[in-house]
Structure formats: structure tokens, C-alpha cells
Amino acid sequence: MNKFIIQVNGTVYGSTASFRALRFTESVLSLGHQVSSIFFYQDGVTNSSALICPASDEHDLHRAWERLAKEHNLKLVNCVSAALRRGVLSEQDAQENNKTSANASNHFVMGGLGELVTGIEESDRLICF
Amino acid sequence: MKKICVIFRHSPTGNTSSREGLDFAMLSASFEQEVSVVFTDEAVLHLLAGQQPELVGSKDYLSTFKALSLYDIETVLVCHDSAKRFGIASSEFNFEAELASATQIQQLIQDANEVVVY
Amino acid sequence: MILHQVQTSATVDNALNCCLRYIDDSDSILLTDDALNCLLDKQWQQRLSNYKLYVLIEDIEARGLSHRLPQSTNISIIDYDQFVLATLQHTKVITW
């Protein structure tokens, strides 16, 4: 059994990188390997917006991450500074920045780049998308 | 401790890739990882002095590159072919960095535990 | 033995060129998303002929390219489980 850390840099809509990250993670888990965390950086943080509303006949990547995380008890971590710059805020971020609403899903936690680095240190493979 | 090589391949202005890559490089170094940095393709433009990214609404993060050595990032390589292509001589470098051949960079990449590209 | 992942089209981004500048003969390249389109181009086919290449079956079928890719022994068509295995068979993965 090997331990993977997945880094998602691609945007939730407009690129297929996040979709590949999801499919790859599903395979890692189905093959019995471990995922230390999924770290969303750069435009990848848009995956965590609970306000993503794709049409009913389109793939809902945000929902798919939530479902996968729930099913496998996965850690979905947003880089907080990358998220703030792109308008993805947790309740706490919204309060601290005097914004009227938050949009980050509760299934994603806000973290720092330090979590990515420690994740890389304790994993066998880093795979970026 | 892991050997992490951070490769920059995008221009400094016009995207935020390098800025976020630099954050990652410095954080990795402050978390006691052995970090090396490579500039290739248009990213060699980071080495130029006299840039004013705030004129086009970008943050001036370029001066932060001067602090790489403070973070114990000793290996900072610039692709020789890319520098030549964009007409940049090592005497013009705005911060401490070394020209390197493709073979030298290839060796650094092979030796690293993880390589990330920004 | 590195697995290089290139995700962007060679006509849009220099990622593949950049990867080829530093690749070792024993490394492999995984062409995902529009990066695989270059395999339709004879010049690129030739340039990549010395490397072991991987392409995801979903990427090929999504583009209707099943019968258009060259029948070369250096190209392996894989699914996601094989993608995971390939990441473990190589020492590391670099996404350009």
C-alpha cells in the first residue's frame, strides 16, 4: 500500500484537470492505496465553492468531491490564501474580512501551504493536476 | 526532509503561477525541506531588473526572489538556452542565480524527491 | 525513471517542449487532455518516437480519436487504474 497526496491546481469549470484528479483519486482508493489529503491550490480552490450550479445534465464536480470525501473520509484542504484571492470564503473568512456571505463548502477545510508540504513529506507520491 | 525542486516556466507578469509557486518554494524551505529553484522558458524574465508589475495591476512579488538565500534556498538555476533566447546575460540578473545547461537541470530534476512546475 | 504528465496542447502551451528539454531516455510521458492531440501530427509523432508514451483511454474516446492515433509500439493506452500503477512504477511524477 502506498500513500498519495493529490494537488489540484486546475479550475472547476473550463479545464478537465480537476475531473482527472477526481478519477485518479477514485482509482487510488479502489486499488487499496491511501490518500493523505487532496490539496486545492491556485485555481483548484474553485472546486470548493458550494455555489457551483452546473445544469442538471452536466457533471457536478463539486458534489463529486463531497461525495468521495464523505465515502472515504478524505481530507479536502483549500489553500486559504489562494481561496481568498479568488473569492472562496469560509464562514470564518467572511467574518474576518467583513463579507456578507461565505461560499466554501463545509466538506473542505481551509489550511495553509504548510499542510501541503507536510503532506508531501509523509506521502510516497505527489500527483498534481 | 525531502528534496523539492520548484520549476518556474511562466512569465512573471500576465499570470499568477510564479507568485504562487514562489509562496510554495519559500514555505517548503521554512518547513525544513531542501528546496531548489529553476527558471526556464519565459520564466527567465523574472531575472530582469526594473520591473513594475503594479503598473498592470499585479503585485510586486519579484523582490521576494532576492530573499531566496535567506530561506536557505542555495540552488537557483537559470536555463542557459532560455536566457540566450530572450537575450538576458547573467550579468543582468537582479538576484543571485546561476546559468545552467539542460544537462545540469536534468540532473537536479533526477535527484529531487519531488518536482513541481509553476 | 520519471513519469512526465503533460496536460496542455502543444499548439497552446510550451509544456511538452519544456518537458522534452529535461527528459531522460528512461523516462515516460503521459499525454492527458489536449496534450494527446499532438499525436495526430507526423512531426510530433517523430519527435516522441523514442519515448514510452501513455494516453488515457477516456481522453481518446472523448475526442473520437480511437482509430486515428498511430499504431506505435511506444504508445500505451491505459485506464485510471493503470495510470495509478504507472505513477508507482516510476520514481516520481512531474506535471508540466
Q: Convert B2-33 to b/e letters by CB count within 10 Å (16 or more is b).
A: bebbbbbbbbbbeebbbbbbbbbbbbbbebeb
Q: Report the C-alpha gap between B53 and B62 in whole angstroms.
A: 9
For residue B29, list chain A residues with Cβ-Cβ distance below 8 A: none
Containing domain of residue B105, as a range? Answer: 3-117
Q: Inter-chain contact B102–C15, Cβ cutoff 8 Å?
A: no
Q: Alpha helix (H) ranges present in chain C?
A: 15-22, 42-47, 57-62, 80-89
Residues in chain A, pLDDT under 50: none
Give pLDDT tens digits for B65-112. 999 999 999 999 999 999 999 999 999 999 999 999 999 999 999 999
**For the segment A38-63, what is each residue's pLDDT rounded down to a tens digit?**
999 999 999 999 999 999 999 999 99
The total domain count for chain A is 1
pLDDT of residue C29: 98
**Known catalytic residue: A53?**
no
CATH number at residue B69: 3.40.1260.10
Where in the sequence is the domain holding A35, given as residue range(s)?
3-52+59-128
State how many domains chain C has. 1
Query: Given an 8 Å threshold on Cβ–Cβ distance, is A116 in contact with B33?
Result: no
For residue C45, give the CATH number of its domain.
3.40.1260.10
For chain C, the straight-line distance linking the first and the last C-alpha, in angstroms and rounded, comes to 16
Query: Shortest Cα distance from A124 to chain B (angstroms)?
Result: 9
Grid cell of C75 as nine digits: 504508445
Contact list in C for residue B116 (CB cut-off 8 A) is 94-95
Q: Is C9 exposed, middle or buried (0-12, 13-18, 19+ CB in 10 A)?
A: middle
Q: What is the CATH number of the domain that holds A101?
A: 3.40.1260.10
| CA separation, residue B49 to residues A79, B63, B82, B93, B95 (Å) | 30, 9, 17, 7, 9
